[in-house]
Amino acid sequence: MSTIYDYKKTRAVVIERPYEVRLREITLTEPKKDAYIARTYYSSISSGTDMKTYKGLQHPEQCYYPLVPGYETAGEVVAAGEESDGSLKPGDRVMINECRKYGDVCAAWGGGSEYTVKDSDTTNDTFDYMVKIPENLSYIDGVLAYLPCVALKGIRMLNLEGRQTIVVSGAGMVGISAMQILKIVNPNLRVIAIEPNKFRRDIAKKYVDIVTDPFEAELVIRKATGGAMADQIIECSGNAEVPGILHKYLKDGGWGTDDAPGHIHWQGDYPEKIIMDSYHRWFTKNCTISMSCALAPGCKEQILAWISEGKFDTNGLPVEIWPVSKCAEAFEYKMAKGEDVFKIIFDWSK
């Protein structure tokens, strides 16, 4: 049986510089005694974070090139250190996810490597520890489970009691996940999706009460709510032009002691500056705004349980499986097709 010290090098998807991707060998860090080593069987391209990194749009304070992108990964534990926490063993099928340090390249979020060192030096153990995948789920389910965790963290910050109208802006993986989770948490919610891309609007129709494009959204929400507008908005588009104009979809409120104000939660990744609309349009809404990043402890376990129980749907999500050997072509394809591609998953056996 191999030990954690047997893994020195690994294949990885490397963005050498903006618009240039290669599958090549990189160096792993020297593992700590508490390390697990995991082998990736499937990973993905994040339509938001990874594509913005591919285009060179991430802030230089966050990462530099060459770098390993990704965080949606699933595979198998292949070795455990003598001081590992004992929660996993070689052979366990797991969500692997982020690695924040490699030996000779920037990790960025670092999921796109065939072998990954997960220890106290490379991983945020507070929330990004590896979690076993239930037996009735596939490795691809394990890949698709990660971004729903991001949506779940944000949704847990909201008061979702009663018959509220919740607007979800953006129907990418985080947005579609938020739509599904809202209905799991409270089936009585009226959920309205706003999405400019027709392909993604068609996906959203499976999970919400109403779907609209941004051009008709204000009128559609007004009609659905009898003029009251949305109680809360979850912004998942990743488009920096969107957060600043969300006030027009939100209710007026918060003027009395028993009158809850409208609320907006920012859930997207915005490397660009967010420009807010004229202040008087926001000030008179009397609303509150929150935001969240990444995931929280317990989110992976909960999402996997919901998928395993048939409450959260991954089968209806249009994924495209690519051999990891074609990673450069896959990024180029995603760049050309844009929002008409929902999710690309890499098969590391090919």
Under the banding of pLDDT at 50, 70 and 90, the label for residue 259 is confident
Task: Using the structure block, give the residue that is written with the tokens 């420009």.
Answer: 275
User: Per-residue pLDDT tens for 127-136?
Assistant: 899 999 999 9
Q: Helix 146-155 to helix 299-308 angle, to the nearest 10 degrees?
A: 110
Once rounded to an integer, what is the mean pLDDT over residues 212-236? Answer: 98
By DSSP bridging, strand 9-17 and strand 20-27 are antiparallel
Residues 235/265, Cβ–Cβ less than 8 Å: yes
For the chain, give the number of residues: 350
Q: What is the pLDDT of residue 254?
A: 87
Say what the pTM is.
0.96
Once rounded to an integer, what is the mean pLDDT over residues 155-173? Answer: 97
Once rounded to an integer, what is the mean pLDDT over residues 13-19? Answer: 98
Say which residues have a Cβ less than 8 Å from residue 259's Cβ, sequence separation at least 6: 253
Query: From CA 294, how far away is CA 126, in angstroms rounded?
Result: 12
Instruction: Out of 73-77, 159-163, 193-197, 257-261, pick the least confident.
Output: 257-261
Helix (H, G, I), strand (E, B) or coil at 193: strand
Structural domains of the chain in order of their starting residue, each with its CATH number: 9-147+295-347 (3.90.180.10), 158-291 (3.40.50.720)
User: Per-residue pLDDT tens for 296-335?
Assistant: 999 999 999 999 999 999 999 999 999 999 999 999 999 9
| Count of C-beta atoms within a 10 Å radius of residue 276 | 12
Q: What is the pLDDT of residue 95?
A: 98
Q: What is the pLDDT of residue 215?
A: 97
Q: What is the pLDDT of residue 110?
A: 83
Q: What is the pLDDT of residue 68?
A: 97
Label residue 300 left, alpha or beta by phi (over 0 means left) and psi (-120 to 50 means alpha): alpha
Nearest residue to 168 via CA among 159, 180, 157, 156:
180
